[in-house]
Amino acid sequence: MGKTILIGCPTSALDPDPSRWLDSFIKIQNQIRTLKMCQAFLAPYRMSWTNANNHIWNTAIQFDFDYILRLDDDVHGVPDNAMEALVEADKDVIGAAYVSRHYPHKWCALMNDGEGKGKSLIEIAKLQIPCLQEIQENTGIHRVDLLGFGMTLIKVAPFKGLHKPMFFDAGEDVPDDTIFAQRCADSGIAQYVLMDIKLCHRDLSPMIRAKS
């Protein structure tokens, strides 16, 4: 049997136009089939965001999936080669690029520089220290400290020995991708962004960050 992917989407109806997400979701499924990989889809229902994320991770480990494709329900515009590129990159954690919803619409692929050195990502989020700098490169694979969860391919094996079932702590009032990024940092697991794969985020196109 080929490699297996659990597509995990903790739904909360973020996008007012779900049809564009559905179009990209179907495209992702077809790309996975082209790669001759097996897939399942899990969208936890009537769970808190924390419990939904934990349920995705625990299911992937329990049923021995090779990958999780962590997918938010407000990204769309997935390119035709997205899954092939993410799989071929062969990283423990690698995601597509997309911009944040709030001005100045930084790429959700950030480095902890300057004032943030020596502080955890969770501390930075809680204290709202403006020290996370977006990745500057426009193409290629680049290591980052904090990667948005819009479309992220994660190998399951490196996480099997980590603290569970609580991969995400309901007591931490910070975004789930921040908690995950800190867990990766604490465990020596590198995160990467593939800047060649750019997604739309709700009504924001990647063109909003186009470089002259």
Strands across the sheet containing 109-112: 132-134, 109-112, 146-147
Block means of pLDDT (10 residues each) for the chain, 212 residues, are 92 82 96 97 90 93 96 95 98 97 90 77 81 91 96 95 73 86 92 97 88 44
pLDDT of residue 72: 94
Residue matched to tokens 């300057």: 114
Q: Which domain holds residue 141?
A: 4-209
Give the residue among 119, 113, 114, 83 at the shortest CA–CA distance from 3. Answer: 83
3-state SS of the chain is CCCEEEEECCCCCCCCCHHHHHHHHHHHHHHHHHCCCEEEEECCCCCCHHHHHHHHHHHHHHCCCCEEEEECCCEECCCCCHHHHHHHHCCCEEEEECECCCCCCCECEEEECHHHCCCCHHHHHHHCCCCEEECCCCCCEEEECEECCCEEEEECHHHCCCCCCCCCCCCCCCCHHHHHHHHHHHCCCCEEEEEEEECEECCECHHHHCCC
CATH value at residue 197: 3.90.550.40
Cis peptide before 79 (omega within 30 of 0): no
**Amino acid in position 9:** C
* pTM for the whole structure: 0.94
**What is the domain count for the chain?**
1
